[in-house]
Structure 1
Amino acid sequence: MEDFFKPKIVWGNLNLKGAYSYAPEEMFVNAPSPFLVTSNIAILHILNSKIADYYIRSLGVTRNGGYFEYKPMFVEKLPIPQIGLDNLCTYPVNPSKEMEIDIDYKVYQLYGLSSQEIDYIENRES
């Protein structure tokens, strides 16, 4: 029960693409809205990255209309690098569009993606 009062990352259960938000301590969300208890903003930015969405969507099945159910069992399988997260913590919780592009490239670097892999993720059709 105490987890509901802690800072957390929340997301909608059914979405066209991953959309994660930060809920500060003592902020509550309606169901169905899974959450991950953490105050680490770097994890929020990784979850909102293109590579994370590609990976998480590869674990499940897309429904009619392109909707995907972002179940916690899929989200929790995303490996989070343990080194280099400090660079992502410098970005605000709600970055601008330009910052989102920069964050995506920093996340690609965290995962060690090649230029060909980055090109594939950037140019794939969702």
Structure 2
Amino acid sequence: MRKIPVLAAAAMVMGLLAPALPSHAQDAAGNAEDGRAIFNRQCMACHSVQQGQNKVGPSLAGVVGRKSAAVPKFNYSPAMKEANKTWDAETLDAYLLDPRGYVPGTRMIYAGLKNPKQRADMIAYLETLK
């Protein structure tokens, strides 16, 4: 009995499934331009994207990879100072979903970004900020 036709059929099926994967992966990664639009509507009143320019909230320039409560000269809540988080895609996703639930006692009054696609887009945008 020859196994080559079975392997060829399996490879063909995998080839048919492969085109669906990039689209899903792209959605999971988020769209930075859509994230910028969300930021402009929902975040820019309180946060700047300029290094060293704090508003009611700290500057978000370079936020991805940064430790929580690390922006100089910003008056963080005791809860945020004690949070000891590193802002990566996973922690940002949890925080943006429910800021007060993720860091109880935070001063951020934002209710959260409930839509997972919008959170992915926001994180993609935040990743562009240096």
Greater fraction of residues in strand: 1
**Which of 1 and 2 has greater Rg?**
2
TM-score scaled by structure 2?
0.24
Greater fraction of residues in helix: 2
TM-score scaled by structure 1?
0.24
- Greater relative contact order (Cα < 8 A, sep 6+): 2
